Structure formats: structure tokens, C-alpha cells
Structure 1
Amino acid sequence: KAFADEQLTHLKSLLQGQIVTMMGQTGAGKSTLLNHLAPELDLATGEISTALKRGRHTTRKVSLLNVAGAWIADTPGFSSYETFEMTVEELPNFFPEMKKISGECKFRGCLHLKEPKCAVKDAVKNGIIMKSRYDNYVQFHNLIADQKPDYSKNKK
């Protein structure tokens, strides 16, 4: 209990003055975490379905909440990402720290994966870009690259 209280206090200090979105899979505990941060919110939470082994979509709309001096958007959960409306070439633009130094890569259009002399991979190796951010980038890249084309969008 003391450790959990210490973690919540630390999280509150990190949130102070920030604008944050809580998003994740259904049943991940987004609203539960917000209730721990601000018990007065008394947000509805649900149990994980034993039959489906997943959450039950307790949060039904986006709510903007003032919690611990931060504005937090509590969002409904999702089962999975269906599609990404971007290409793997556009993805690096959504990672500002990577976009900022990508001009230093040896190859124009570097995707920061297997290319030699990549400034982004060097920045990750040297601790300039957080490894977790780069890992997220690679995960999103793979999701986009593996996504099946939606031919129905081209129908007239």
C-alpha cells in the first residue's frame, strides 16, 4: 500500500500542468487509475468478462477531467486497432524527436529500421531518443506494413 501511494504521488507530480489522453484496450484500467488519482471522480469501472477474457466498455464517451492539476481525457477502450490512415513513409512525421534529426540520416526517406548510418538509430543508442519511443515507432511501423489493404475504399 505504501509503495502504491508513493507511485500515485509520483504520477501526480508528473501530470501537474499537463494535457494527457488515457487510451488503451478495454479493461486495461484507465478509469480505475483515474479513480486512484482522484477518488472524488467515482468513475464507473467494470470487471473483466471471464467468458470473453476482456473488458466490457464501461466508459462510453470521452470526458475531459481535471485531475491532480492536469487535464486528462478519459476515453472508451478499444479491442484493437483496425487500420492506420497513414503510410510507413508518413509515420516518422508523427515522432517529432525523430523527424527533427532525420535529415542527418545518410539516406533520404530513411525509415530508421535497417538502413546504415541512421541518425535516429544512433540517437536511440546514445540515449538521445528514448528506446521505448523507438520501440513504439517500430511496433507502429510493423502494424502499418502488415495491414491488409482496404479495397472497399476504392469502390465507386
Structure 2
Amino acid sequence: MGQGIIVKALSGFYDVLIGEDVYSCKGRGLFRKKKITPLVGDRVEIETQPDGTGTIIDIQKRQNELVRPPIANVDQVIMVSSVVEPEFNPLLLDRFLTLIEFKNIDPLIILTKKDLASDDQLSKLEDYVGSFQQIGYKVLLVSKHMDQLEKMVLPYLNNKLSVIAGQSGVGKSSMLNGLNEQLNIATGDISKSLGRGKHTTRHVELFQLGGGFVADTPGFSSLDFNEVELEDLRFCFKEFVEVQDQCKFRGCLHMNEPKCAVKDAVEEGTITPFRYEHYQSFYEEIKSRKPRYS
């Protein structure tokens, strides 16, 4: 018997780390009957065998779980976005941030390849960085060659389970390899025709790094809001939450309602217009979603 954490899941087998030992485990048949699927990040109890295998017999209550990627007990999402190649996309970054906020997980924004950007690109980027920092987000700027990467990033990993997420080709796997070259995670080239990186990460796996665990996740270039309802969306924008009590109507959705404090803040410049425009876009997307029937 022992308690550990699932660090890898592949084809019905689960690698469970206990101390410095890894056991290849299968789940109890009871899990299948109850339609419970063990996830990477789960804290579990296993029965071990002398040959290094084991059986997962219990899964502790999860603090949260993500569907894509399938992972549990996430403390922090490290949002990696590149300045160029592919070009910085604030709308895509806000899609990630909205979903991270919906799950009540802390984000850390890392912008890569700053040394490849032109002065004009860097100037525009500084405006965006300032806006995100004003909201209260932590933002790190790093170069393609990962100068001072360990000093900048590692302190944020200590005692946390972090997920690295972002558009394909922005340098997620390269960044992990830069932090620990022994990881040797496969990296993909940028597809010139699509402007996206090739998908190199095929499964979710936890790596021990900086006194914590980090998950490299399959790259993707779009995200949907299937779990987010219209009433939830306003709470995913931190700066809206700060002023929404000043709206005339309780439950204001900050769209067509009169005397809306959020819209007033946009007019006054205390809420950045691009953030409100993205909110409007996401609102319309969720509103036009086809109804789901259970």
C-alpha cells in the first residue's frame, strides 16, 4: 500500500510516483463500473506488487479538473504565447485566460521570442503587457534563447502543479527543455502554410521541475466555451468584477443594460477597450451556441 500522484496516463495504464519510485498501475474494475477515470494529477492510493506494478484502489477528492487536457488538481496554468512566429494573438490569450478564470486557477503569462521581434512589435506588445499587469496578471518576457530562464521561471513552480498551455509552436516544450535539458521533450517546427506548430505532445505527463510538477500538454490553436454559461462569463474578467457592484442592475451582463459600470469604465479608460471587445465577442459566441439537451 502507498499514496502517490499519477504522473502519466496512457492506454489504460497509469504511472504513479511514490517518493522516488514509479509504479505502473491499472485502475480497479470498480472505477469503470462507476464511470470514474483516473487522471494525471490525481492523488491516489495503490496496492503495490514486488515487480513494480500496482492497482489504484482509491482516488482522493479533486480540487479541480480540466477536460482538455485531462488533468486534475491544477494549481497554476502557465500561458505561453509568442511575440512572433506565430504572431502574438491577444484574442487567443484572452480565450485561455477566460477558461482559466472559469476554473478558478491562477494564470502566469509567459511571452516568448521577444528577441525576434521588431521595435514596432515590441512597442505594441508593451501596451498589452501593461494592460494585463494592470489587471493583476503576472507577465514574464523571455527570449528564444531562454536567457535567465531558470532564474525567471523556476520560482513560480515551487510546490505547485502547473499546466503549460498555449498555441502550438509558441515554444512550450522548448521552454521546458530549457529549464531542464534532461527532459528532452520533442519540439515541432512552425508550419509555414498554417503559421502553427506541429503537434508534438501526444499525451499528458507530469515532470518534476523547480520543486513542483509541470504538465506539458498537447498543443492546440482554438478553445471553446462549452462549459461556460452567459451568466458565468462576466466573472471571468477580473477587472469587471471589481466594478460590477456599481452597475444599476444586479446581475448586469455588461452588454445592453443602462448605467453599466463596466461600460462606463471602458469609456473612462480604466478598463482596456480590447478586453471589453473580447468579452463582447465571447458573449455573442456563447449566446449563439446551440442548446444542449440531456
Partner residue, 2:213: 71
Letter in 1 for 2:177: N
The structural deviation recorded for 1:46 is: 1.0
Query: How many residue pairs are counted as aligned between the two chains?
Result: 146
Q: Which has the higher strand share?
A: 2
**2:199 is equivalent to residue 57 of structure 1:** yes
**2:255 is equivalent to residue 116 of structure 1:** no
Output one character per residue of 1:50-80: Cα deviation in whole Å (capped at 9) or x when no partner: 2332111100111122211122221101131
Q: Is the 8 A contact 1:64 1:72 kept in 2?
A: yes
Q: Select which of 128, 146, 149 maps to 2:289.
A: 149
Letter in 2 for 1:29: G
Q: Secondary structure at the match of 1:44?
A: coil
Partner residue, 2:278: 139
| Cα distance in 2 between the residues matched to 1:17 and 1:136 | 32
The structural deviation recorded for 1:49 is: 1.7
Q: Secondary structure at the match of 1:40?
A: coil
Q: Select which of 26, 37, 41 maps to 2:179.
A: 37
Q: Which has the higher helix share?
A: 1
Output one character per residue of 1:21-59: Cα deviation in whole Å (capped at 9) or x when no partner: 111112221111111111111111111122332111100
| Cα distance in 2 between the residues matched to 1:71 and 1:138 | 35
Partner residue, 1:128: none
In structure 2, do the counterparts of structure 1 residues 149 and 15 end up closer, same or farther at CA, with 3 Å as the change threshold? same
In structure 2, do the counterparts of structure 1 residues 15 and 141 end up closer, same or farther at CA, with 3 Å as the change threshold? farther
Q: Is the 8 A contact 2:255 2:280 kept in 1?
A: no
State the identity %.
34
Letter in 2 for 1:145: E
What is the TM-score with the length of structure 1 in the denominator?
Answer: 0.67
**2:154 is equivalent to residue 15 of structure 1:** no
In structure 2, do the counterparts of structure 1 residues 117 and 103 end up closer, same or farther at CA, with 3 Å as the change threshold? closer
Q: Once structures 1 and 2 are overlaid, which stretch shifts more, 85-94 or 106-115?
A: 106-115
Cα RMSD (Å) = 3.7
Which stretches in structure 1 are left out of the alignment for 5+ residues? 126-130
